[in-house]
Amino acid sequence: MLEFVTAGMAGIIGRARRTHLQEAEARAEHAEVRDREVALAAAQERTRIARELHDVVAHHVSLIAIQSDAAATLLPGQPVQAQKHVEIIGQAAREALAELRRLLGVLRVPAGSAGRQPPDTAPVPSVSQLSRVLERVRKAGIDVDLRVEGSPARLAPGVDLTVYRIVQEALTNTVRHSRAAQAAVTLRYEPGYVTVSVTDTGHGPGVAARPRGTGSTLASPSGGFGLAGMAERVASCGGSLTVGPRQAGEFAVTARLPAP
């Protein structure tokens, strides 16, 4: 009888040990999966912030450089005109600082701070603020128009920011790398989608122009990350991006994004 009881206890202990080991393996596997998910999320967030920093810095610093060259050319013979370019430099610098503070504010939020007071940061750019981008480009010497087709709809935050950044980056490259005298931005709303298109003529007195046969006037000849950043943004929204020449010597960046 004692042997029977001993064997039963041994079986119970063995099953308990196996259950414990299985639970430990399950916890370890869960922790490994969680670590991979955290690492992936961190990598995606670093990529997103890198895109934001590139777009903010490239746009505003490009305008500052162009306007400073213009001001230097006008001084000392035309101080009034030079002063206008200096004012544009100051405005671009202030806006760049505001956006950089917003990004840095996001980075400085400590882990586990959900529910705490958010940092004092600038609002996230959106389609409603495109007029500011267009005005800066006009002051840089390029005549740019905005056309809206269809019925404007409220966009998801990610799509809204993507549209803004595409327009900003495309026009920045037009200012920096093309000889465009004119550019146009078109927003087309249709059921389930929004399409943004930025075109330039490529024939104006641009800076550091790239020969038309070597690629897009909207692409960086220095091998920058502008177009790559656009493609990443569009892909993250589930949209499509096309870059290439159009009729009458124009060049265009066009993105079609889901907008339920």
> What mean pLDDT do residues 228-245 have?
89
Strand order in the sheet with 143-149: 143-149, 182-190, 192-200, 251-259, 240-245
pLDDT of residue 6: 64
Strands 143-149 and 182-190: parallel
Mean pLDDT along residues 232-259: 88
Higher local confidence (pLDDT), 84 or 186: 186
Does the pLDDT of residue 229 top 60, yes or no? Answer: yes
Please tell me the class of the 129-260 domain: alpha beta
Q: Do domains 1-123 and 129-260 have the same CATH topology?
A: no
End-to-end CA distance of the chain: 74
Query: Over 50: is that where the pLDDT of 129 sits?
Result: yes
**In the prediction, which pLDDT does 7 show?**
60
pLDDT value of position 205:
36
At 108 the pLDDT is: 63
**Considering only 87-101, 113-127, 205-219, which range has the smallest mean pLDDT?**
205-219
| pLDDT of 234 | 92
pLDDT in tens, 57-71: 777 777 787 778 878
CATH 3.30.420.240 matches 1-123? no
pLDDT digits (tens, 9 = 90+) for 142-164: 899 999 999 998 999 889 989 99
The whole-number average pLDDT for the span 98-127 is 64
Spell out the domain ranges in the chain. Answer: 1-123, 129-260
pLDDT tens by residue, 29-52: 877 777 787 777 777 766 767 777
Mean pLDDT, residues 167-194 = 88
Bigger pLDDT: 107 vs 213: 107
The verdict on pTM exceeding 0.85 is no
pLDDT for 8: 63
**Cα separation, 254 vs 166, whole angstroms:** 9
Beta strand extents in the chain (DSSP E only) = 143-149, 182-190, 192-200, 240-245, 251-259
- Amino acid (one-letter) located at 100: L
Predicted confidence at residue 197, as pLDDT, reads: 96
**Which tokens in the block code for residue 36?**
């991979």
Q: What is the mean pLDDT of residues 182-195?
A: 95
> How far, in Å, CA of 200 to CA of 186, rounded?
12
Task: Using DSSP bridges, classify how beta strands 251-259 and 240-245 pair: parallel, antiparallel or unpaired.
Answer: antiparallel
Asked, as a colleague might, if the bond just before 76 is cis with ω within 30 of 0, I would say: yes
Res 218: pLDDT: 40
State the angle between helix axes of 157-177 and 226-236 in degrees (0 to 180), rounded to the nearest 10.
Answer: 160
Q: Please state, rounded to an integer, the average pLDDT across all residues of the chain.
A: 77
Checking if the pLDDT of 183 tops 70, the result is: yes
Which pLDDT score, from 0 to 100, does residue 31 have? 76
Q: Which band of pLDDT confidence, cut at 50, 70 and 90, is reported for residue 223?
A: very low
